[in-house]
Amino acid sequence: MAGLHFALSDEQRALRAEARALASEVLAPIAAAGDPGRVNRPLVQALASNGLLPRLFPEHAGGSAPGDISAIEVCLLREGLAQASTEAETALAMQGIGAYPILQSGSEDLVTRWVPAVARGEAVAAFALSEPEHGSDAGAIELRAEREGGQYRLTGVKTWISNAPDADVYVLFARTTPGAKARGVTAFVLPGDVAGLSGTPLELLSPHPIGRLELDGVKVPADHVLGEVDQGFRVAMATLDLFRPSVGAFVVGMAQAALDAALAHAASREAFGKPLREFQAVSHLLAEMATRTEAARLMVYAAAAAYDGGAPDITRSSAMAKLFATETAQFVVDSAVQIHGAAALERGHPLEHLYREVRAPRIYEGTTEIQREVIARDLYRPLEA
């Protein structure tokens, strides 16, 4: 890949290239054989057997990483996979976001029970925060968790949950203290086959394993709480701090794929007696696409490096990276469609797929507007202290 590489080592760039090659040669055909909109278990297993999924998790939790989960490593894998198989990318990322809160805040029993199985691709994980009436305002969630002796009873609805309703384990956020907004939310671990839990798949603009969950008096033992009771909002936010830059890496991968396709098309396609690239309107657009993609990539890896280095302002840098990269990728993919013309609109064209796929990341894991809110609050923090 041409261009700057921030401070990535040769080894890190090789990992990204390995992920891309595996996606194109091994994982894309498995993804294509799956049922669109449902969990593709052979794909999750192939991510594990080819060594990618275990890299997300530390050795003590059944993975192959020498230390804690590394944001840069997550970004390298996501960017590489996205360039050749968005389905493989998403399957890997959802295992990470579903299992990370358990790793971060779970008891030893919960970690041992679930994380190695997720790392091996034997258990499918999910992160269940959003509700029909509460997406951006995550501190307002209503799904009730009522204490009854040594357990909780959970009742309510979650929606737009990746990997639902097929997941084997859910990290699910519920209200333990009514009226307390973000300070009354608790994180729970639920096995997918628990009594009283049911769900339905949802069909999106771009097929993705996602669904709605209904909890009808689901009983969860009190020792399935992650972290402290009423402190689950922090578990959710800390998870998003880690994964938001990597949403950026996902979309940078898509932008790169779109840019590569546009470069090839502009060099080979002729109009008015010359290749498209000889029209300045096209070549300058390609230059702009490449520049913005590189800027997004630099922000993503800078945010990931800040996270791994334990920098104090990672909430802000994560939000900035996600915001800038997702908006940039939308521009780059849309521009690549424009350069291709009508061919890119045909069902099944790689850009038709990317055009549908690039839209959702501007909404999930915090919309563009929520990222701006997070950044703006952080900018004023020193002035208010």
Q: Which residues bind ligand COS (CB under 6 A)?
A: 129-130, 135-139, 181-183, 233-234, 237-238, 240-241, 315, 364-366, 370, 373-374
Q: Report yes or no: 126 and 163 within 8 Å, Cβ to Cβ.
A: yes
Q: Give the residue among 365, 95, 100 at the shortest CA–CA distance from 226.
A: 100
Q: Give the residue among 125, 69, 116, 133 at the shortest CA–CA distance from 97.
A: 125
3-state helix, strand, coil in the chain (%, to 5): 60, 15, 25
| Least distance (Å) between residue 319 CB and ligand COS | 8
Output 203 or 369, the one with its CB closest to ligand COS. Answer: 369
Give the separation between CA 192 and CA 166, rounded to whole angstroms: 7
Output 7 or 205, the one with its CB closest to ligand COS. Answer: 205
| Least distance (Å) between residue 380 CB and ligand COS | 12
Catalytic machinery residues: 365
Q: Report yes or no: 86 and 353 within 8 Å, Cβ to Cβ.
A: yes
Q: Which residues contact 194 (CB under 8 A, 6 or more apart)?
A: 218, 219, 220
Output 277 or 372, the one with its CB closest to ligand COS. Answer: 372
Element (H, E) at 221: strand 210-221
Output 138 or 320, the one with its CB closest to ligand COS. Answer: 138
| Least distance (Å) between residue 97 CB and ligand COS | 8
8-state DSSP, 58: B
The CA angle 202-208-209, to the nearest 5 degrees, is 65
Q: Report yes or no: 158 and 144 within 8 Å, Cβ to Cβ.
A: no
Give the separation between CA 174 and CA 180, rounded to whole angstroms: 12
Residue nearest to ligand COS (CB): 139
Output 12 or 86, the one with its CB closest to ligand COS. Answer: 86
Output 180 or 345, the one with its CB closest to ligand COS. Answer: 180
Give the separation between CA 179 and CA 190, rounded to whole angstroms: 24
Burial of 196 (0-12, 13-18, 19+ CB in 10 A): middle
Q: Report yes or no: 167 and 124 within 8 Å, Cβ to Cβ.
A: yes
| Least distance (Å) between residue 75 CB and ligand COS | 18
Residue type, 362: R
Size (the chain), residues: 385
| Least distance (Å) between residue 261 CB and ligand COS | 28
| Least distance (Å) between residue 243 CB and ligand COS | 8
Output 170 or 266, the one with its CB closest to ligand COS. Answer: 170
| Least distance (Å) between residue 231 CB and ligand COS | 8
Q: Are strands 274-275 and 270-271 parallel, antiparallel or unpaired?
A: antiparallel
**267-271: long-range pairs with CB below 8 Å, 24+:** none
